[in-house]
Chains A and B, each alone.
Chain A
Amino acid sequence: MNSKTLKSVLVIIILMIFSCDEPETIVTDIVHTDGSVTRRIEMRNKKKDFDSSKLRVPVDSTWSYKDTVVYEMKNGKRDTTWIRTAEKNFISVDEINKEYLTDKGCNKASKRFVSFSRKFKWFNNEYRFSENVGKGLKYGYPIENYLNREEMNFFYLPKSISEEKMAGADSTKFKLLNDTIEKKVERWFWSCNLAEWIEEFTKLTAGRAGDDISKENLKKNEREIVNMIITKEPGADTVIISRFLGESNYRKFRKEADSTSSTISKRVEELSSFKEYSLRVSMPGKVISTNGYIDKNGELLWPVKSDFFLSCQYEMWAVSKISNTWAWIVSGLFLLFVLAGLIFRVIKK
């Protein structure tokens, strides 16, 4: 068995352990010109279990539901998929934001909000819609500091597409790229955590700690400590913290250090409990700009997962335009009028 196969087997084992048969969710926002939004949520599950605590976005009794069952034959066995579709019309994005504030689902810890704006630009009306997820860590570093443009593009790719790339032509290149990204992302993750730890710890020990464990001095050792964390064996946190602060400082501020570690753990737990889903947006008119992916039907797609908003707000936005026919006619007539006036003047002369 080669290492790749072994790795795949191990991943499958881990997946079996952690997989909870949770509904695969696609949230579709159909944006209208007046700012109203029709939100449709499609949840697919192998069981008829759509418990509210597993819902990625808030859904309550005011939504209209439809349940369907799909049977597929796979390897001679009948495969059943339960699909629950929920839909609701929101008069404005404020209503969606209100629902986010009272969310009781599995992603309630993340701050999410939606915005919509319309701009009159004479020949066109521009519509901008965005869905935002607030950052998980307060003092983390932006991912741009760790990944270059090519790596960033690959990092934000939906998993199905990145997997397709790794299996297709140039697979070696993409696999190498993926490996590089994984390593860099790991470093970024731990650097963010450590930055968070330093900030919280120095706040707790403000006025009492010496210069040797000032924020600036701790930051100087950040890289070295991150290297230690990456290569550490599980359970070696105490050793790392004592080396980071120095034995005497660790003894003196052990309570603060433990309290800080606990706070950071809670934040990361909240982040890691975020259940990912896909966001699909249908904009009015023609889409002219977006940071999402466009499928063959012209719909916009984004994966929503915790990696994307670890240290920075994750904004999924799109801009579309609708031409103002009357403005085109008025402008054309005005130009013709001015031209005719100038011709008239020349003739009169």
Chain B
Amino acid sequence: MPDIANTTTNPPVASKSSQMWKRLRRLPITLYIGGTLVSLFVLVALGSFIWTPYPANKLNLTNRLAPPGTPGFLLGTDRAGRDVVTELMLGARNSLYVSVVSTIVAMLVGATIGLSIAGSKRFLQGPLTRLVDAGLALPGILTALVLAAKIGAGNTTATLAIIIWQIPIAARVTIGPARQILALDYVEAAYSYGRRKSYVLRRHVLPNISPLLIVLSSIMFAAAILIEAALAFLSVGVQPPTSSWGRFLNETQSLLEAAPYLMFFPGVAIVLTALGFNLLGDGLRTVLDPQQARSGLA
């Protein structure tokens, strides 16, 4: 069926594309900067599976601590003669892996908990929310250290710790908005024709708060990348020979005088990636959830 509204005011083809252009230009700049940085990060991380300048952990013992710009080594080499570009690409891979796994799992579990609390009996909501608040107050690094002491340092420890740390965050952010939606008339209507609470939560509440969850995921990605780097820096996260930006920084700490430029690259990589995800989250919020953005939720 032809769209009547569209046929009557059908604009010329040229202006149609210019209209789209206009709409694209109206999108917030943070979305573009964030999107670009994040795409770059994902491309580099996935690209490392196909191509890196040198194989992983290839030692060039004759070319140790080569400065940036050395022929064959764009950003130089580290203390063991590993190519810095290769190391950075592989580090991106590890960051991506940890942040994707932890964010997805934490989001699924956390949002489920949040929805259940919002839909639970009234007298349970207060105590349960406070419990989540208590979980919120605990720093992720602490969880990671306890886990690492118990099951040993490593990527799994780091990922698990980030998940445990982020679950209360996802739950806490879900509870409020879910409650608001549960108070709306159409939810009442759904109950009146016999829908059960679990159905209402899944089919009415979840779709309505999903923009919020998407925005939150982006910010959780950034946090996960920062924690992964911190744990690797403390030698509690990923272990050699897997490359990681945080571990790379740890190794450069003793080279501050001999090769100060080395600490620059992984740090910039971490900052740009975390910044990218945060900006993307900000931009997405403006687009997906204008009300929330206008009230300026930090």
Indicate whether A and B interact: no
